[in-house]
Amino acid sequence: MTLGPCILCLLGLLGQSLLCQTDPVPIPLKYQPVTTGVTNGAMAVRQGSLLAAVWVLVATAVAGDKAISDEVWSRLDADGDGLVTRDEMRSFTAGERTADLRRDTETQWTSYGLSLGEKLTFEQYERKVYHENKYGHSSRRKEQDSRRFHVCDENQDGGLDKDEFMTFLYSEEYPHMHDIVILETMEDMDKDGDGVLSYLEFTDEEEGMEEGRQAEKTFKKLDKDGDGQLSRVEVKQWVLQPNLEASQDDEDSVIIVMDKLDTDKDEKLSRSEVDADPQLIEDQLMYEEDDDDYAHDEF
């Protein structure tokens, strides 16, 4: 079985501080957002997912006096059977949360001159990312990209469709890609290859955090078992923390909505159950981008 490539896009510190109940743990520069878009090379392309970061709640509707719109209902009830399950709610809110990533994927897809039904080959990707931009890339990164690309190519036909391309770009959003994300992190940072990160590796000039008090504090905090090194599990908690927390937030929201709206307790929401308090759907499951400042409304 192949492990796969990864993308380490993490939230910025601002995003983290807004998301986290506890003190945010700084993430090394490498994993902080650079920018999104197609012209900044693999790092930017991959880390653009950062956008996903934190969000601001849509709070514009007048509370409680409107039925849910057909448009929102049809997206909630994805299979169109007239009832909304927990799974449908999970997909809905995750889709809302990553809407900007989908938009970025669209933009990148278009930049390859591809239409909806077409596929992107690694050669096309490579040409654009490694030959058409002025930023240098290590051969390790290229190998990681190639491996990740082929893992995302689920039917192994040599090309990625648009959904697969989004998985490639934003692997940290997909639990089945998390092993690959961490594998790439360890390849980048575990210089002596012993499977754990020492403090020296953690503060390595090339990939790590800048050495200093902040790095020491962060390392200590991440080293949950206090053995003086970061295991794979500890590294995962570090690198994927924002994504793991966002998934947990989604799950918490689904529970709140189901608890409050499922009055007949059949584990499904009918449209009339939703219409009893459509504002709750908006408050709990929907997000809206707010320029540079993202915040998830917690109440």
Interacting residue ranges for Ca ion, rule: CB under 5 A: 77, 79, 81, 83, 190, 192, 194, 201, 223, 225, 227, 262, 264, 266, 268
Q: Is residue 295 within 8 Å of residue 54, measured between CB atoms?
A: yes
Place of tokens 């189901």: 258
169 versus 285: smaller Cβ distance to Ca ion: 285
Q: How far is the CB of 144 from Ca ion (least distance, A)?
A: 18
User: Could you tell me the two tokens for 156?
Assistant: 């192994």
Exposed/middle/buried for 247, CB within 10 Å: 0-12, 13-18, 19+? Answer: middle
Cα–Cα separations (whole angstroms), residue 183 to 2, 199, 222, 285: 11, 18, 18, 32
Q: How far is the CB of 81 from Ca ion (least distance, A)?
A: 4
143 versus 264: smaller Cβ distance to Ca ion: 264
7 versus 258: smaller Cβ distance to Ca ion: 258
Backbone angles phi, psi at 269, to 5 degrees: -105, 125
CA–CA dist 299, 292 (Å, integer): 21
87 versus 298: smaller Cβ distance to Ca ion: 87
68 versus 83: smaller Cβ distance to Ca ion: 83
- Partnered with residue 197 across adjacent β-strands are 230
Q: How far is the CB of 196 from Ca ion (least distance, A)?
A: 5
Residues whose CB is less than 8 angstroms from the CB of residue 131 and which lie 6 or more positions away in sequence, other chains included: none
